[in-house]
A = this chain, B = another copy of it.
């Protein structure tokens, strides 16, 4: 029942038909996609379903003054794919809900979906449903992603044991550096135009890492199926915060070697150009969508060998300690300090 009737810029059912035609695909286990009261999926054999959902708000998670609708869609999908990667699961189905501002037409909605499906389609994730609504204010995007594993096989946050090695995939801090570069671009803040002596290729790399992150699905699935990891989480809030979540769920502490954090040449150059501490950017920067995982020390050689063979970038950065030890970091000056809780929370 509409309490407020917006301008008829978009008719809901016509929009859903357009989106279904352009973006929906079928697979053999999808009994019914868009077009009924619910999507219907066959679970042909025993197995585990993994379900994750995210709600993204205009002005909180994205800023349409600096980000394109494609990149908002792409990053929203990738954040959910990363959650599925951290479970070691295979992503299967996505539902997309939008609250759409009155100034949007079909073109804007299609742009957003294009970004979403650029992230989903190469991973064979099928769009099966969602909801569209008017918004009397900004754009809100809600995603639900469903993945599968075999029964009994998943990477949880709670499995880390004292003595386990701590690893991360990829490099850390790139996304934060990229976001800061974007925020200083001429189009939005002309006053910063000449500040950065950073190489164009480094800039491009960092901005791309922010706008087009990559969920580590293959890495997560390998760690899960080959039973290499004891626990895993994806780095969405930043290492300092997400390591804390993993430690809380596993009831353990951790010791990280700050000098071992994997940092890209571009992020180091960015830090130098701004006289910032690259390790601090790596420690606290969010939205890298890399995986943080733990594994028993006996797995060290196997993990190194398989990572090389499969082209996975994996770095050992520390050790799981007892809960009493707390969550600490070895700094380059040789002291052991508590890791500050500087993770991003949406309510701060």
Contacts and interface: CB of A to CB of B under 8 A. Distances in A.
The bracket for how many chain A residues form the interface is 35 or more
A130 B51 CA distance: 9
Given A135-B57, A179-B1, A347 B142 contact: no
Interface string A32-66: 10011111111111111111111111111111000
Contacts of A50: 38-41
B3 A38 contact: no
B37 A157 contact: yes
Contact of A38 (B84, B131, B138, B287): B84
Interface in A221-250: 232-234, 249
A49 B175 CA distance: 36
A31 interface: yes
A133 interface: yes
B134 A346 contact: yes
B40 A49 contact: yes
Contacts of A52: 37-39, 129
Q: Could you say how many copies of this chain the assembly holds?
A: 2
A36 B5 contact: no
A39 B51 CA distance: 5
A344 interface: yes
Contacts of A131: 53-55, 142
Contact of A95 (B11, B41, B144, B158): B144
A167 interface: no
Nearest to A42: B48
A206 interface: no
Contacts of A232: 37
Interface stretch (A86-94, A264-272, A302-310): A86-94
Contacts of A74: none
A27 to B, nearest CB: 14
A8 interface: yes
Contact of A60 (B8, B129, B134, B151): B134
Interface centre among A1, A44, A233 (most CB of B within 10 A): A1
A206 to B, nearest CB: 13
A37 B233 contact: yes
A136 interface: yes
Contacts of A18: none
A132 interface: yes
B138 A137 contact: yes
B144 A37 contact: no
A176 interface: yes
Interface string A135-179: 111101010111100010010111000000000000000011001
Given A38-B86, A40-B49, A57-B99, 15 more contacts: A1-B286, A2-B344, A36-B157, A37-B82, A37-B232, A38-B145, A40-B50, A42-B48, A51-B129, A52-B129, A53-B129, A55-B142, A132-B346, A133-B346, A140-B140
13 contacts: A1-B286, A3-B60, A3-B61, A3-B62, A6-B347, A13-B345, A35-B157, A35-B249, A37-B86, A39-B50, A39-B51, A43-B47, A52-B129
